[in-house]
Amino acid sequence: MNWNKEPFFGWKPPLFSNQIAQIVSLGIRKMYDLRRDEDIPLTTVDSSIHKGLKLIHKGEGPKVGEGLLVGSVRMGYGHHRMALSVHSHSIAKKIPTYLHDLLAIDSPEARAIGDVDGLYSYFSRLSSEMGGPIEWAWGNITNSGNDSSLYLSTILAKEYKRLMKNLPQSNPVVTTYPLNGQIAYESGFKKVVHMICDNHPQFYLLVPGALNLVQTESNLNGFLKMGVPRENLEVAGHWVSEDILKNVMEDSDLRMKRTKNRSPKRFLIPIGGAGAQKGYLTELLQLSKDMLLSGEFKFMINLGDHEHVYTHIKEVLEKLGIEYESIRSWSDLREYTANNKLSDKSDSKLKPVTLFHFMTHSEAFSATDVLIRVSDVLVTKPSELAFFPVPKLFIRRVGDHEEKSALYSLDLGEGSVECREPSHAYDLMIMFVKSPDVSLRMNECVISCAQKGIYSGSKKAVEIAMNL
């Protein structure tokens, strides 16, 4: 497969952008004492929850061998969720698979990248809780990744090359965060496939010198209008993990049967990686009290690894007098899902609310993929979860770049409008219970999309990378 392998697509950056990028690059090199000439020894350890996956860390020990490298970054949950969608398929194909998380490599480079993530998470929480002018300002920032920001990122990637320098460059690489792909390119990897998040084209999301995969035709057309070379773009489909994809038809049929039987509605509500929905969720619980106590609503709330949100929601539930159960370990999660399958008549055994809270980042985001298969409706901001094959109720976005993902899902017929206020989300929850046609139609749309291969993007990404 041939594509444009020129750095920055062969474009010439504006003089001012070039100067700013060089100054910022030099400043970060000095501030974090980056040393390009020293190698970082890299080794692997087995993942504790994903059988067959090797995690790359700094240290002496077993080296990375032949196989697929999956690049991600512990920045919120979205990029690691995309990585999970990739390595679930490659492991199912018996391909040796290694996860390279930029922040898992103990180094000055990782600290530099992590500091940026800390600021992003802080402003995401602030915009969600404060709203108004702060939300407007943050929305504009997250919506405007221009070509200058892309150029700066590619320049910084040169400073971070040590993070991948000690890996076999003959291996194909699939990346889920642009900086991963840019570092791979600068480190000499020739087979780089990059998966682009969201449905809003921004220069910042691209990896020059790689094949960039998008989830939708509309996103492809947006990048083409921006002047991105056609040979560097391909539509793959949605980023969905292997277990959900292979069971999508059966699970959709079961959800439809539950709807026809008037079973309680199981709403899965995951908190994002920035922990930005605490206030929204609190109000939604207050509005839903009567429906939870009557048994018509069942809430499964994944609070990830956010201890402060977990503590707060427990206090809210106790104050409201709503009975709840807490799941705190991966083994308990597996037991919970095994005992509460969509096909089981186990709703009466479920507490009105089940809280999920974990100690590790990997368990925190992976739990949502597991819980999707035992839920009726996913209640989520329009993040990467907006592309999953399950009926979706969208709550308020965190950053304007997420808006088009909700609109796209609405067009497919398997997602709702974006509910900016908790009262609107509650009204739609009532509609899911009182108007069965809503659930039936959404599940029918999921089945139709699955038959067209729309949800097979991650599977295709693995196939493309291994055939380069």
Mean pLDDT, the chain, rounded, equals 91
pLDDT score recorded for residue 75: 83
In tens, the pLDDT along 406-427 reads 999 999 999 999 999 999 999 9
Share of the chain above pLDDT 90, in %: 78
Start and end residues for every CATH 3.40.50.2000 domain found in the chain = 243-451
243-451: CATH homologous superfamily?
A: Glycogen Phosphorylase B; (3.40.50.2000)
pLDDT (average), residues 220-235:
97
SS (H, E, C) the chain: CCCCCCHHHHCCCCHHHHHHHHHHHHHHHHHCCCCCCCCCCEEEEECCCCCCEEEEEECCCCCCCCCEEEEECCCCCHHHHHHHHHHHHHHHCCCCEEEEEHHHCCCHHHHHHHHHHHHHHHHHHHHHHHCHHHHHHHHHHHCCCCHHHHHHHHHHHHHCHHHCCCCCCCCCEEECCHHHHHHHHHCCCCCEEEECCCCCCCHHHCCCCCEEEECCHHHHHHHHHCCCCHHHEEECCCCCCHHHHHCHHHHHHHHHHHHHCCCCEEEEEECCCCCCCHHHHHHHHHHHHHHHHHCCEEEEEECCCCHHHHHHHHHHHHHHCCCEEEECCHHHHHHHHHHCCCCCCCHHHCCCEEEECCCCHHHHHHHHHHHHCCCCEEEECCCHHHHCCCCEEEECCCCHHHHHHHHHHHHHCCEEEEECCHHHHHHHHHHHHHCHHHHHHHHHHHHHHHHCCCCCHHHHHHHHHHCC
Q: Confidence class of residue 401 from pLDDT cuts 50, 70 and 90?
A: confident
Which pLDDT value is given to residue 273?
A: 64
pLDDT for 142 equals 37
Q: Please give the average per-residue pLDDT across 204-225, as a whole number.
A: 97
